[in-house]
Amino acid sequence: MPASRVLDDLLPRRDGPLPRVAVIGAGVSGLTLARVLTGAGFPVRVLDKGRGPGGRLSTRRNPDGGTFDPGAQYFTARDPLFMAQVEAWVAQGDAAEWQGRIGTLERGTVTPSAKESVRYVGAPGMNSVAKALAEGLDVRSGVRVERVARDGAAWRLTSDSGEDLGLAEVVVAAVPAPQAVPLLAGAPALADQAKGARLSPCWAVMARFEAPMALGLDGAFVNDSPLSWVSREASKPGRATGERWVLHGSPEYSAAHLEETPEEVAPKLVEAFARALGTDVRAVEAAAHRWRFAMPSPPLDTP
């Protein structure tokens, strides 16, 4: 959507100083909006509870120098405006086409799929895209906004530790809908909309193996399994060599085992990977991360 359209819809022009904007959440949506508004002259702050920007565009480093992308695995681009942005990221070296072999995996049966569309990844990690979006913005990480309350003509933001985070005339909650509900207490109609959104969880396991996998695929959608997706990290551009895989639990499995510990989940999903491969594989190390709000099910039909 063109920047002028965003501004007309969200923040109609007015006389006098431009309103201060606080964006809660430094994922792709929050960072993109912050860039549009900052470019139009608005004073914008972005606040995020994570250690750095990106949200599900997350990259984890391994002690051996390798990396994992436990969240978003790749992205595609069809809209002309987004395609132009992706081309800019590629030119800057922040993203690259992933030419990995993709298919399906079911109980030892591997089925390559025809190449449907071009897939892109951040380079050298998925969070490279988030870092590019955040460059030049006022982003504060490691702060969890707990309360947004009216204070005169503005909104006062307070952290979960009681820190006063200042005032903003406009607040944007760019976080998963269940987390947005309490932040939208001052806007009941929006809070009610957010309450209607349902998001499925996803357990992600980052596993390293000693021996190379003779799978014939670099990424696979997994059927009839506790897993929904697996990917070979070294197949992505800019990554270090080594047999590192990300294993995503299915929405059903992840929901059923949501409150288990990472130490309990990791070996179970590695075992599910072995069953899907139809062979015995053992991880040298494996760690799990819980995405409590991963995928909308189903998405809201409201833009």
Residue 32 backbone phi and psi in degrees, to 5 = -65, -45
Distance CA 229, CA 78 (A): 23
The pLDDT tens digits for 148-176 are: 999 999 999 999 999 999 999 999 999 99
Residues 288-293, mean pLDDT to the nearest whole number: 97
Confidence at residue 194, expressed as pLDDT on a 0 to 100 scale: 92
Confidence at residue 262, expressed as pLDDT on a 0 to 100 scale: 98
Which of 202, 178, 197, 220 lies closest to 256 in space, CA to CA? 202
Distance CA 219, CA 93 (A): 22
Cβ count near 171 (within 10 Å): 22
pLDDT band at 301 (very low <50, low <70, confident <90, very high): confident
Residue 270 backbone phi and psi in degrees, to 5 = -65, -40
Q: Is 103:113 a contact under the CB 8 Å cutoff?
A: yes
Confidence at residue 2, expressed as pLDDT on a 0 to 100 scale: 47
Confidence at residue 63, expressed as pLDDT on a 0 to 100 scale: 79
Answer whether residue 5 shows pLDDT above 60.
no
Q: Is 226:253 a contact under the CB 8 Å cutoff?
A: yes
Confidence at residue 117, expressed as pLDDT on a 0 to 100 scale: 84
Q: Is 183:175 a contact under the CB 8 Å cutoff?
A: yes
297 exposure class (CB count in 10 Å sphere: 0-12, 13-18, 19+): exposed
The pLDDT tens digits for 122-152 are: 999 999 999 999 999 999 999 999 999 999 9
Element (H, E) at 191: helix 188-195
| CA 100 centroid distance within chain | 20
Amino acid at 91: A
Which of 36, 54, 50 lies closest to 143 in space, CA to CA? 50
∠ CA 297-245-93, nearest 5°, is 85
The pLDDT tens digits for 168-207 are: 999 999 999 999 999 999 999 999 999 999 999 999 999 9
Confidence at residue 73, expressed as pLDDT on a 0 to 100 scale: 96
Distance CA 193, CA 249 (A): 28
Q: Is 47:140 a contact under the CB 8 Å cutoff?
A: yes
Amino acid at 170: V
The pLDDT tens digits for 236-254 are: 999 999 999 999 999 999 9
Q: Is 200:255 a contact under the CB 8 Å cutoff?
A: yes
Tokens of 75: 């992205």
The pLDDT tens digits for 10-57 are: 555 667 789 999 999 999 999 999 999 999 999 999 999 999 999 999
What pTM does this model have? 0.90
Confidence at residue 12, expressed as pLDDT on a 0 to 100 scale: 58
Q: Please, which residues bridge with residue 221 across strands?
A: 104, 229
Confidence at residue 213, expressed as pLDDT on a 0 to 100 scale: 87
Report helix, strand or coil for 154.
strand
Element (H, E) at 86: helix 80-92
The pLDDT tens digits for 80-127 are: 999 999 999 999 999 999 999 999 999 989 999 887 789 999 999 999
Confidence at residue 116, expressed as pLDDT on a 0 to 100 scale: 75
Distance CA 100, CA 271 (A): 24
Answer whether residue 299 shows pLDDT above 50.
yes
Which of 172, 1, 165 lies closest to 80 in space, CA to CA? 1
Answer whether residue 302 shows pLDDT above 90.
no
Mean model confidence pLDDT for the chain: 93
Confidence at residue 1, expressed as pLDDT on a 0 to 100 scale: 44
Answer whether residue 289 shows pLDDT above 70.
yes
